Amino acid sequence: MYKILTLNNISVAGLERLPRDKYEVASEIQHPDAILLRSFNMHNWEIPSSVKAIGRAGAGVNNIPVDDMSKRGVPVFNAPGANANAVKELVVAGMLIAARNLCQGWSFARNLEGEDNEISKQVESGKKHFAGFELPGRTLGVIGLGAIGVQVANAAHALGMNVIGYDPDITVQSAWQMSSDVEQAAGVDDLLSRSDFVTFHVPLVDATRHMINEERLHSMRDNVVLLNFSRNGIIDDEAVVKALEEGKVYSYVCDFPSNLLKDHPRVITLPHLGASTKEAEDNCAIMVADQVSDFLENGNVRNS
Ligand code: MLT
């Protein structure tokens, strides 16, 4: 019997891939053979020596001490691409929410009070104040052209946007998936200087931490919209607050809570909802449950 410890809620669709006659699955279990998790932070948590494999039901593995696990010969499996559609949809929503001032408009409308005449006047002033802009013809810069970045690039292109992409490690497969109308930028700085919207789809590693800092924000177009559905830390929050005040950044849509940013009227913070759809959760859980069971039962290592 294999013992599987779950450190977060893992979708039932994934757990059903582990038959009860071969697997014991629980959120508390002694001497687990494998661990399944989402965003539980494993750094500073003692990983039992019995563990032979770890399955991360998501794309990012920065919550797992991957190097230590490699030294122990423990593969870390993730689910590349399994939640790409969910993230893509939220990036598109984020662009529209920012361009059309939807959060400000929503908050304005729900606070309207008074007689019909008075409300009509306020509606007129709201329409003027919250007038936005449209996406066709605007340029989206996509930093990171893995499964998610490529889907975002293609969706933006379908909406009539010009799309520039950049990824230092772009693979032939990614290039093939990209629409031929998505232009590859010469580098991050080239992309930043030409984009009206910039979206980030890179992992948080030393090379990407605070990749967007004060200097880079200054090099961007005025009124740029930034979208971060990747990892907190890629963009320097303090520098963004300054850039919002200076009119450099029009809006920042960020899929993480932030005390520094949450009260700013042109910042939209979310509780890491990018991959939170039933479909994405099922896809990720199925992908990692299959990889972990294939490893435990047959010694096969795929996608780690
Ligand atoms: C990911 O890296 O894919 C996400 O963080 C998944 C999640 O929300 O658990």
Report residue 289's pLDDT band, with 50, 70 and 90 as the boundaries.
very high
The confidence score (pLDDT) of residue 112 equals 95
* ipTM rounded to 2 decimals: 0.93
Residues framing ligand 1 (Cβ under 6 A): 38-39, 58-60, 83, 272, 275
Residue type, 210: H
Residue 180 has pLDDT above 80, yes or no: no
Which tokens is 3 given?
A: 């013992």
More confident residue, 91 or 180: 91
The confidence score (pLDDT) of residue 158 equals 94
CA–CA dist 211, 105 (Å, integer): 32
What is the 17 CA–ligand 1 centroid distance (Å)?
A: 20
| Domain annotation for the chain: domains and CATH numbers | 2-80+278-298 (3.40.50.720), 84-269 (3.40.50.720)
Select from 10, 36, 39 the residue to mutate for testing ligand 1; criterion: most ligand atoms less than 8 Å from CB: 39
Report residue 169's pLDDT band, with 50, 70 and 90 as the boundaries.
confident
The confidence score (pLDDT) of residue 182 equals 83
Strand order in the sheet with 267-269: 182-184, 162-166, 139-143, 197-200, 224-228, 249-254, 267-269
CA–CA dist 84, 79 (Å, integer): 10
Residue count of the chain: 304
What is the 275 CA–ligand 1 centroid distance (Å)?
A: 6
Q: Which atom of ligand 1 is nearest to the CA of 58?
A: 3
The confidence score (pLDDT) of residue 171 equals 67
Nearest to 233 by CA among 215, 260, 251: 260
Residue 202 has pLDDT above 70, yes or no: yes
What is the 224 CA–ligand 1 centroid distance (Å)?
A: 26
Share of the chain above pLDDT 70, in %: 96
What is the 276 CA–ligand 1 centroid distance (Å)?
A: 8
The confidence score (pLDDT) of residue 304 equals 53
Residue 176 has pLDDT above 70, yes or no: no
Residue 217 has pLDDT above 60, yes or no: yes
Helices (H), 159-269: 172-177, 188-194, 214-218, 237-245
Which pTM was predicted?
Answer: 0.93
The confidence score (pLDDT) of residue 168 equals 80
Which tokens is 275 given?
A: 């991959």
Q: Which atom of ligand 1 is nearest to the CA of 276?
A: 8
Contact between residue 143 and residue 91 where contact means Cβ atoms under 8 Å apart: no
Q: How far is CA 300 from CA 66, 77, 204, 277, in A?
A: 18, 11, 28, 29
- Average per-residue pLDDT for the chain: 95
pLDDT (average), residues 166-181: 73
Residue type, 268: I
What is the 88 CA–ligand 1 centroid distance (Å)?
A: 13
Q: What's the pLDDT tens digit per position in 246-275?
A: 999 999 999 999 999 999 999 999 999 999
For atom 4 of ligand 1, the residue with the nearest CA is 58
Report residue 181's pLDDT band, with 50, 70 and 90 as the boundaries.
confident
Contact between residue 210 and residue 234 where contact means Cβ atoms under 8 Å apart: yes
- Apex CA 39: angle with CA 34 and CA 42, to 5°? 60
The confidence score (pLDDT) of residue 173 equals 65
The confidence score (pLDDT) of residue 172 equals 61
The confidence score (pLDDT) of residue 6 equals 98
What is the 298 CA–ligand 1 centroid distance (Å)?
A: 27
Report residue 302's pLDDT band, with 50, 70 and 90 as the boundaries.
confident
How many CA atoms are closer than 13 Å to the CA of 39, on its beta-carbon side? 11
CA–CA dist 134, 186 (Å, integer): 27
Q: What's the pLDDT tens digit per position in 28-68?
A: 999 999 999 999 999 999 999 999 999 999 999 999 999 99
CA–CA dist 295, 299 (Å, integer): 4
